[in-house]
Amino acid sequence: MSNSLAADLIIPIIKIIIVGLFPLIMVMVMVWLERRVVAFIQLRLGPNRVGFQGILQPIVDAIKLFFKEDITHTGVDKVLFNISPVLVLFSSILAFCFIPLGGTMQIGTYNLNFWVAESPVGLLLIIGISSISVFGVIFGGWSSNSKYPLLGALRSVVQILSYEIPVAFSVLSIIFFSQSMNMIDIVNRQKDAGIWYGFMLPVSFVIFWISVVAETNRAPFDLPEAESELVAGFHTEYSGIKFAYFYMAEYAHMVLASSLAVVLFFGGWLPPFPNVAALSFLHVIPGFVWYLLKIMFFLYLFIWIRGTFPRYRFDELVRLAWKWLIPLSLLNILVIAFVRSFA
């Protein structure tokens, strides 16, 4: 009895706490990594005083933001103004419960799964939950009753909506091969196939990656908060902890996007070449470590792109989505379906 209680209740709750805190810990790592890497790209030093190589800088920043005054200025819609940061952060944390952070580990007779929930429509749920953040953005921009947040929110919503479609279509091509939207099944099918889907479907992956960079409002698509044009975009009027929520949510969405790229296109917790017998020693390293290594690569890619490319213009951004990525992704699906109906 006590054993089943532990298995049914206590272990899931511990997992939920770990999975809930995981994006926030990754955010701290990312804030430090981004400032440091972008500084090196621009031949600066970046934060290097607080702790070893400045590693404690994000913690110090977070504590500072906790003690700041939370200003709700005059003329705002109070309810929406307060809901929107919570909504944005909530959606990015919740989506992680369907992402497998590792494989199944056998401890005695108990199978420890590295995911909170397994759902037959997991992929659809992740896409749906992560787009709740659009509401946070538009609520925040509209309720602020200020010009720059409103413009930033409008831009942001158009950008997120436009790039949502290529994401959905590029992810579809995975389903042709996995025949399932269950995230765990998708990784297991990649193991059976012996090849990560990213190498099998490079066009889908490139479309997915471009769209995801745009959807997380990152450079070179960071128009919603283009600081030289719109002050800070939709969160201009936010201060203190609410600003921190938007900031954390942006980075948490990057972690989520990298996790999706890893699980769908690069084998999740699997080591490279999972079926090659000569490389079976790679299975000694636990799946969670492989997953972490892979998402660190993609998070680094985000920063690398930001340090390398200049910002897009807004009409170019809309044109890229609607005239290039959407027709290309539709064609991609038809070609894959055509090939699959013969092979």
Segment 287 to 316, residues that bind other proteins, using CB under 8 A? 314-315
Q: Which residues contact 5 (CB under 8 A, 6 or more apart)?
A: none
Per CB under 8 A, the list member of 71, 79, 105, 279 interacting with other proteins is 71
Residue 1 tokens, joined? 């009895």
**Contact status: 188 vs other proteins (CB under 8 A):** no
Choose the stretch contacting other proteins; rule: CB under 8 A; options: 31-39, 111-119, 184-192, 205-213.
111-119
Around 263, how many Cα atoms within 13 Å sit in the side-chain half-sphere? 26
Q: Which residues contact 54 (CB under 8 A, 6 or more apart)?
A: 32, 35, 36, 46, 47, 48
Window 156-175: residues binding other proteins (CB under 8 A): 157-158, 161-162, 164-165, 168-169, 172, 175
**Contact status: 337 vs other proteins (CB under 8 A):** yes
CA distance 207 to 276: 29
Choose the stretch contacting other proteins; rule: CB under 8 A; options: 115-123, 191-199, 203-211, 298-306.
115-123
Q: With contact defined as beta carbons under 8 Å apart, do 185 and 178 qualify?
A: yes
DSSP symbols for 231-258:
TTGGGTT--HHHHHHHHHHHHHHHHHHH
| CB of 123 vs other proteins, minimal distance in Å | 9
CA distance 45 to 25: 23
Window 38-67: residues binding other proteins (CB under 8 A): 65-67
Window 225-264: residues binding other proteins (CB under 8 A): 231, 236-237, 240-242, 245
| CB of 342 vs other proteins, minimal distance in Å | 7
Q: Which is nearer to other proteins, 42 or 74 (CB)?
A: 74
Cα-flanking dihedrals φ and ψ of residue 37, to 5°? -70, -45
Q: Which is nearer to other proteins, 272 or 327 (CB)?
A: 327
Choose the stretch contacting other proteins; rule: CB under 8 A; options: 183-191, 274-282, 289-297, 323-331.
323-331
Length of the chain: 343
Per CB under 8 A, the list member of 55, 118, 188, 305 interacting with other proteins is 118
